Amino acid sequence: MENENINVTAETYDREATELDYRKTWMPQIHKIGPITMVIGALLMFVPGLFMYFVMGWNEVPFSSIIAFAAFVLPMMGINQFTEHLQFYPLMGASGIYMGYLAGSCATLRLPVAQSCVNASGDDVLSAKGQLAATIGVATTIVSNIIILLLITVFGNFMLKIIPVFVKDALGLITYAIFGYLLCMNLSSQGKGNIAKGLAGSWMWMALGIAFRFVFNAIPALKNFAALCVLLSCLVCAIIWEKMQDKKEAA
Amino acid sequence: MATMSTANFVLWIFAIILIGFTFVQAGLFVRRALQFNKRNHVFSTEELKGMVKTGAMAALAPGINTVFLGLSLMSITTSSYMFMRCGVIGAPFFELMIITYAQQIAGIDLAATAMTPSILTYLVFASAFGCVCFVLGPVFTLKPIEMAGKQTESTKPSLITRALPKAALGMMSMMSFNYFVQGKGQAFSWTGGFIAAFIVYTLIGKGKKGLTSWALLISTITGILVGQLAVTFLA
């Protein structure tokens, strides 16, 4: 049935009309589906624990320990968690964030895949085309991740025995390699496929991000929120810059 | 007395329900996306299939990470717990951290104590509290951000839409810098990933479009190799 839906050609693609349709129809749909499913997902998360504790009676660990853990973890991580996705919004857009945060592993799995798909689409991530690519990409990872998890479940114990220690050590470096890739790909995207051009047009924002990093890391109260502070500070600077560019164009 | 196999079975059922729900959500988004595509002719059927292939191939490299951290998680908890927590909201690394905190709070040592249904129940609660804000954050913030950038009557991208990619680059540079200064292995791994991506995307720019799906996998494996070689030989 879905095959019938997608059986179209891209020959008649009209970018301007598509962007308008995206803002008028698809964007509101994203923000209708997203919040409802996220709230249901958040509530569903507690159902297994409640069922096991109160129905099955597996309650040797006192409920006060559960409350103590909640009281410890929510203030410690809550604010960071509540705002973390804002860092990824400019890199994957709204539908990718909604799916990525419900399915988990957003930064290490969904983000690189969404970026790869957006790059393959040849458009900006926050455009209609980019969002279509990111949505398809993130949805694909949900299926592929479950397949990987099933393989771990079935072959996990066997794999633990045969994998050499140096391979396990090497895999600890995977996140760093992915971030090297991500920065390069973003430069490629900024330069419309030309990395050198992307670097020439972006070095100022890169330097600004690193400079703000030193500033916010030096302020103890903001150190834990440095990434968000850097994003917001760079955003303010970028808005001012764009306004100046608009004025120049108008003049 | 309840056995671990019963607890594992019960948790498997909930894991399937929760993961099923992520599929429902993804299905709803994809359905709307495909309807939008059909209406506006953005991608052809072949291009969409190519996009799915790119997504599947790109997921392989980060998937390696899931395999090894997932194995670690499974070795200290249960297969059902690992499946549920790595398939919904959580991430393997984060779950390992949550379990460490949870053990400290309740005075449990999973290295010395055998897993029981009650401990598993406690860990299920701990992981739910440990990441509930991840799920609730986007509910309150994403819509206002997008609406701020919405200009329905103009085709020119809004100020926010033009400014966000620049701000994102600044933030990514900061995160990359953080990784870069963590140690030799991390710095070399980052550099290896960057240079490999540079080469791959240069080749793609010269017409080797087939590399698009493989770019992330090639860059990640190169980065890991370079990082590990640096750790081994520059010690």
B222-234 per-position pLDDT tens digit? 999 999 999 888 8
Helix B92-106 and helix B60-76, axial crossing angle in degrees, nearest 10: 20
DSSP state of B210: G
**Joined tokens for residue A182:** 């991500």
CB within 8 Å: B122 and A51:
no
Å between A183 CA and nearest CA of chain B: 7
Residue of B10, B19, B29 to mutate when probing chain A, most A C-beta within 10 A:
B29
C-alpha to C-alpha distance for A199 and A186, rounded to whole angstroms: 9
Residue A161 has pLDDT above 70, yes or no: yes
Residue A76 has pLDDT above 80, yes or no: no
Higher pLDDT, B117 or B2: B117
Residue B27 has pLDDT above 90, yes or no: yes
Residue of A105, A125, A247 to mutate when probing chain B, most B C-beta within 10 A:
A105
User: Tokens 């150190």 sit at which residue?
Assistant: A223
**What CA–CA distances, in Å, run from B150 to A28, A190, B114, B142?**
11, 22, 55, 12
Q: Which residues contact A140 (CB under 8 A, 6 or more apart)?
A: A113, B52, B55, B56, B59
Residue B31 has pLDDT above 70, yes or no: yes
Residue of B47, B121, B146, B150 to mutate when probing chain A, most A C-beta within 10 A:
B121
Greatest CA separation found in chain A?
A: 73
A3 falls in which pLDDT band (50, 70, 90)?
very low
CB within 8 Å: A45 and B137:
no
Residues of B with Cβ-Cβ distance to A166 under 8 angstroms: 228, 232
A8 falls in which pLDDT band (50, 70, 90)?
very low
Cβ(B160)–Cβ(A147) below 8 Å: no
**What percent of chain B stands above pLDDT 70?**
94
Å between A224 CA and nearest CA of chain B: 13
C-alpha to C-alpha distance for A227 and B179, rounded to whole angstroms: 13
The model's pTM: 0.81
Which amino acid appears at position A207 of this protein? A
Cβ(A234)–Cβ(B167) below 8 Å: yes
Residue A9 has pLDDT above 80, yes or no: no
> Mean pLDDT across the stretch A91-110?
90
CB within 8 Å: B163 and A241:
yes
Å between A129 CA and nearest CA of chain B: 7
Which amino acid appears at position A140 of this protein? T
Compute φ and ψ for B43, nearest 5 degrees: -120, 145
